[in-house]
Amino acid sequence: MKHDKHQRPEEPGPAPLDHVARIQADWSRERPDLDVSPQGVIGRLHRIGVLLTDRLTPVYRRHGLGEGEFDVLAALRRAGEPYERAPGELAAHTMVTTGAMTKRIDRLERDGLVARRRSAADGRGRVVALTPVGREVIDRAFAEHMRNERALLDDLAPQEAALLEELLTTWLARIEPPVEGGA
């Protein structure tokens, strides 16, 4: 429909309900005695988490990695030269159990991306170290990962992204136990 410059354009209708708003509306109807407003934040964060994972994991797969393997290689790369950590330290830096960490390390070692060896600092201890091939893989994967994350955040204005980061940082600090050793 063409609008004359003197004619008011039609007012837009209400924004369509997103997935979380529909769930909230259903619960409000079925349980009007409960405050379902927390779902507005928690439900959307959960939904965003799922959608982000769906957008992040293809990058890992392009480099022959799963999400867990990417995390291990990234933790080793972040350690700096000589790009190694003890298995227990890796588990703490990736927030997985030592059993799950063993499976990840086994796969990465089989693929030639990491190597297990005795610790130079403590001859009794073992460390997991990036191989030169592993370092090349994580450097390429991480660069693409950062481009992907940038593209995802570009849906927000810079001020919105900064505010969101500030709010999430504050909230996370209140609900997550402090990290030992500042790591």
Q: pLDDT value at position 13?
A: 55
Q: pLDDT value at position 177?
A: 81
Domain residue ranges of the chain, discontinuous segments joined by +? 38-173
Q: What is the CATH number of domain 38-173?
A: 1.10.10.10
Q: What stretches of the chain adopt beta strand conformation (E)?
A: 84-85, 114-118, 126-130
Element spanning 75, H or E: helix 67-78
Q: pLDDT value at position 109?
A: 96
Distances (CA, A) of 157 to 108, 150, 152, 154, 160: 38, 12, 11, 7, 5
Q: pLDDT value at position 137?
A: 98
The alpha carbon dihedral of 136, 141, 142, 146 has a sign of positive
What is the DSSP pairing of strand 84-85 with strand 114-118?
unpaired
Q: pLDDT value at position 14?
A: 59
The residue behind tokens 């170290």 is: 129
- pTM for this model (two decimals): 0.80
Residues of the chain with pLDDT under 70: 1-16, 123-124, 179-183
Distance (Å, whole) CA 60 – CA 54:
11
Q: How many CA atoms lie within 13 A of 97 on its CB side?
A: 3
- Contact present, 108 and 114 (Cβ < 8 Å): yes
Distance (Å, whole) CA 127 – CA 120:
9
- Contact present, 78 and 100 (Cβ < 8 Å): no
The alpha carbon dihedral of 61, 67, 72, 73 has a sign of positive
Q: What stretches of 2-136 adopt beta strand conformation (E)?
A: 84-85, 114-118, 126-130
Task: Considering only the C-alpha atoms of the chain, give the largest distance between any 2 of them, rounded to a whole number of Å.
Answer: 84
Distances (CA, A) of 9 to 2, 6, 13, 76, 148: 9, 9, 12, 58, 38
